[in-house]
Amino acid sequence: MSDLETSIEQLKKEGLFFTDTHAHIHFEPLGSNLDKVIENCKKNCIGRIINIGINLEDSKKALSVAKQYPFIYAAVGVHPHDSENFKIKDLGYFEELIQDEKVLAIGEIGLDYYRNYAPADIQKDVFRIFLDLALSLDKPIVIHNRESSEDIVKILNEMNSNGKLKGIIHCFNGDRTILKWALDNGFLISFAGNVTYKKAVEIRDAAKDVPFDRVLVETDSPYLAPVPKRGKTNEPAYAIYTAKFLADFYGVTLIDLAKITEENISKLFGKLNVL
């Protein structure tokens, strides 16, 4: 048995598991193969999924999948790529979605200056609108950030004057500016498969400064499969590879990391269902 297989057996024995804190399982090819996706989660001790929406229609889809399975939850929001299509009248529909008990967070929201699919000003406006919503509804947020740390931190500081914002930096990219903000403001840092990539020296370097009480794992499936699945369609079950990589990186057991990440999740979201 490989080291990972042994660790998975131990997790099973102790009833421990990981949460994939960021996936898009309603995206194809995962959406048409949900039974298989969930069966694979069971095998790899992935006991919970937070399924993420990227615009209004997509958020409805993300939630409808979450409502079919007790251990799947949803986040609803507008991805910076989709910010140009956001209409202010949609806000009421989002508010309605957020009332659903399966919606844990508002996201993914943020800025993306790498692809720049939408003008920066529009991205910033929409980001602010959703931060406002998160503050007024007291909901955690899931932040997407790509080559936009300075503006993100500027806006977050502007909006977080009372320190009420809480949430997750998704797919942490190793940027020190956002890391410092996140640590100062009680945010969690979620690592995706790219932390396992050979060239991701910057992410691993910054990871050394992330305390355990802030660490989470995610897949961002169907994208960004971790080594040894790199290049394949990603799925929540593969979060175990990122978890194992991080456990080895930090010099802790997979059991310890499972306990730590679960504690971090319950601090942010309270008691949740498990597969």
Instruction: Kindly tell me which of 175 and 220 has the beta carbon lying closer to Zn ion.
Output: 220
- Which residues in 183-202 contact Zn ion (CB under 5 A)? none
108 marked as binding residue? yes
Instruction: Kindly tell me which of 191 and 247 has the beta carbon lying closer to Zn ion.
Output: 191
Give the type of residue at 33. Answer: N
- The continuous run of DSSP H or E covering 167 comes out as strand 167-169
81 marked as binding residue? no
**Residue whose Cβ sits closest to Zn ion:** 220
- Report whether 244 contacts 7 (CB < 8 A): yes
Least separation in angstroms between residue 221's CB and Zn ion is 9
Pick the closest to residue 67 from 108, 19, 26 (CA basis). 26
Instruction: Kindly tell me which of 220 and 262 has the beta carbon lying closer to Zn ion.
Output: 220
- Which residues in 154-173 contact Zn ion (CB under 5 A)? none
Least separation in angstroms between residue 252's CB and Zn ion is 27
Instruction: Kindly tell me which of 7 and 242 has the beta carbon lying closer to Zn ion.
Output: 242
Least separation in angstroms between residue 255's CB and Zn ion is 28
- Which residues in 226-265 contact Zn ion (CB under 5 A)? none
Pick the closest to residue 54 from 173, 174, 183, 170 (CA basis). 170
22 marked as binding residue? yes
205 marked as binding residue? no
Three-class DSSP labels, 12-58: HHHCCCEEEEEECCCCCCCHHHHHHHHHHHHHCCEEEEEEECCCHHH
Least separation in angstroms between residue 174's CB and Zn ion is 17
Instruction: Kindly tell me which of 4 and 49 has the beta carbon lying closer to Zn ion.
Output: 49
Determine the straight-line distance between the first and last CA of the chain, rounded to whole angstroms: 25
Least separation in angstroms between residue 106's CB and Zn ion is 14
Give the type of residue at 238. Answer: Y
Pick the closest to residue 104 from 65, 130, 139 (CA basis). 139
Instruction: Kindly tell me which of 4 and 134 has the beta carbon lying closer to Zn ion.
Output: 134
- Which residues in 203-232 contact Zn ion (CB under 5 A)? 220
170 marked as binding residue? yes
Least separation in angstroms between residue 154's CB and Zn ion is 22
Q: Count residues contacting Zn ion (CB under 5 A)? A: 1
- Report whether 3 contacts 31 (CB < 8 A): no
d(CA 147, CA 145): 7
Instruction: Kindly tell me which of 141 and 254 has the beta carbon lying closer to Zn ion.
Output: 141
Least separation in angstroms between residue 170's CB and Zn ion is 6
* Contact map string, positions 62 to 101, toward Zn ion, x by CB under 5 A: ----------------------------------------
Give the contacts of 262 (CB within 8 A, at least 6 positions apart): 16, 17, 18, 19
Helix (H, G, I), strand (E, B) or coil at 1: coil
- Report whether 74 contacts 99 (CB < 8 A): no
d(CA 266, CA 40): 24
Instruction: Please report, in range form, the residues annotated as the binding site for a divalent metal cation.
Output: 22, 24, 108, 144, 170, 220
Task: List contacts with Zn ion (CB under 5 A).
Answer: 220
